[in-house]
Structure 1
Amino acid sequence: MTMNDLNPAHKTRPSYIRNILQAATNSEMISLAGGLPAESCFPIEKFHEAVSRVLADPSALQYSGTEGEPELRQWLANYLNTESARILITNGAQQAMDLLARSLLQPGDAVVIETPAYLGALQVLDLAQANIIAIDQTATGPDLNQLETAFKQQPKLFYAVPDFHNPTGCCWSALVRCEVVALAEKYQVTIIEDAPYRELRYSGTTLTSLYDLSPEQVCRIGSFSKVAAPGLRLGYLCASKSVVANVSLIKQATDLHSSTLCQRLLLSCLQEPFYRDHLIHLKEDYRRRRNTLVNALRDTLGTKVDFLIPQGGMFLWVTANHYDTDELAERALSKKIAIVPGSVFYPHNSSATMNKMRLNFTHATPQLLIKGVERLATVINAL
């Protein structure tokens, strides 16, 4: 079998980040590329304790319902102030996105996205053979004039990351959130609100989610990868009962259900008093790492780079003034520093900005963040 034998509908762009993962995990490599949490922040001891509690019941190793463990769904329903019938447990937020696309889209359907955009979403939309309508992102959210123009084309979906956008770190203003929901309701466009970073706020005030503004118009996706551990592969979909019911049927045909054991391990930790303190300490740690990267870039590269400081999330979206970041990323690997060029965050049918790069600050230690910027400066100064 060759690539020519594959169904064209099943071909999608490769992930730049996944492709460089092997190089980035080299012991000598400093990676600012992937959106990885800090392993030192994983609640290892609490998971050890949870394993003993959970395995006291042998049914933790048994098959379970497609929708997810009832107690975990109820915990999420309480947390999100909704009903458990509106919750579906998935294998990470990525599966929730894929299942929604398969449930709601037909080949050729239009989907609106802000650009730049999360690469994983672009891959899902490629597989769904969606017609992507790209609009610009401003400092406070999507360009509303462009959004309304796009909505007039009767798209099926608007994919959005309102809280600490990947890759830009942008957080939509309260006014923009209300305006976007009003436009979606006016033109009857379903919004997919991807919210994996919502809990990772380091400053400012938490703003109302799009789902809370319009529960019937918005499908919210969430993840425990950023706040607990990505190896659990647990996320969720929160949407109308009819959407959850339809998506559940597709999940049933895909993988039957998410891991019973992982769901119960997660729930056991979520129910413990320590979880609230864990989130507080996690955000304090990531705030320090963000500030370390910001100060290192300012001290080492000065006016050669520009960026806004995000109030949360995992990334800095950096403009490398007068430099092509595709070339920069390639040369950086030879100096044992991994970054992601901005061009990979644009759909095929739109023009990419060639002087942007995404830098992660949550995985490397503060010492390695400083050393990584020094290596990056060596590459930039040699261009």
Structure 2
Amino acid sequence: MSEAVSSAPAVRPHPALEGETATGPHSDKSHAQGQRQPGLDILRCLAVVMVLGSHFPVCPEEISRPVHELTQMLRTGGWVGVDLFFVLSGFLVSGLIFSEWHKTGGVRVGRFMIRRSFKIVPSLYCLIGVTVLIQYLTGGGIPWKGIAGELLFLQNYYHRLWQHTWSLAVEEHFYTLVALVAAWCLWKRKPWHNGLALTLALVAVCVLCLGVRIYNASVHPGFAEYLHLYKTHLRLDTLAFGVLIASYWHRPNSWLPGWARQRTLYLIIAGAVGFMPFFLIHRQTHWLMYTAGLTLLALASGALLLGLATMKPSQHWLVAGLTFVGRNSYGIYLWHMALPRWLGLIPGSNPQGGLNWWTLTAIYWVGAILLGVISTRLVETPFLALRNRFFQARPA
């Protein structure tokens, strides 16, 4: 298979893109300096902070008016962090395939899927195992349908144990599709990484997905997250847009990195402006918010990605803090709802818990980061070490 298409001029990939997921850190390093790309970790940090903010109660106005306004905005629009994760994941994970193809003229599809599984599955299954154990010990019984949905990555169509794991199902479905397409191209000797055909195909996916969302909104006029946001066939375009960016970024002698480097500020501003309406307008207020609005989010996320992708490493304490959260973002994303649920602090389930809002906030944010770091250190990192030992990335 590796000789199915002719080799292109070598392009050195970001080596640890191999560990990438939309909901977590990876071990990618810059081309020349052997370091992580801080701009991408900052994007992860931004995305996970927005998601955490969307799942926590708004600060009461009598406590602090400015904090009330800030938390209200996060509660309204923080969900868009998932879309930022999607575009970033589409860019990074497909970059693995593009880099390997350009270097060697082929892709080991099976190894690609195995390596991704080592990244995603252990941490998720750990969360599910702990969830089932706690539910059983507290007399809740065994939720077999929810377990099946989570373990089989069907939680966005079937039953689930957690509200937020639907995004992992979307990613797994999309990258399985990407792997199948790559395998088909190898079998048919089609150079899928080659320019116009891939661009048109990805643009077609984006247009088709928008059309499906509009049709879905007409069939189901009353907004519901499960009906309008969670389904894979409604969200493929956001990941596809990340793939589209990667397809140009990873080409030999690509013009895109240099173009983005010269327009960093403009791209960041454009991305921020694109996100702003979602923090001011509730997504259920109009069908455009969850149809064309999701297309706008993909474009805004792409702009932020291009604006920060060429950021140089920095020793500044603020950058160090943001990148630390970004490196642990997968674990933080997975576990951020655990403490509020198990301590009875989530909205609608004893939201006060006898504690004031500031104490609840500290428990939520510090607990989420702490559990995420523990998950990264005790589960994710050891399994990535095993992966790299037994399923090494393809050498240059």
TM-score with structure 2 length normalisation?
A: 0.25
TM-score with structure 1 length normalisation?
A: 0.26
Using CA pairs below 8 Å that are at least 6 residues apart, which structure has the higher relative contact order?
2
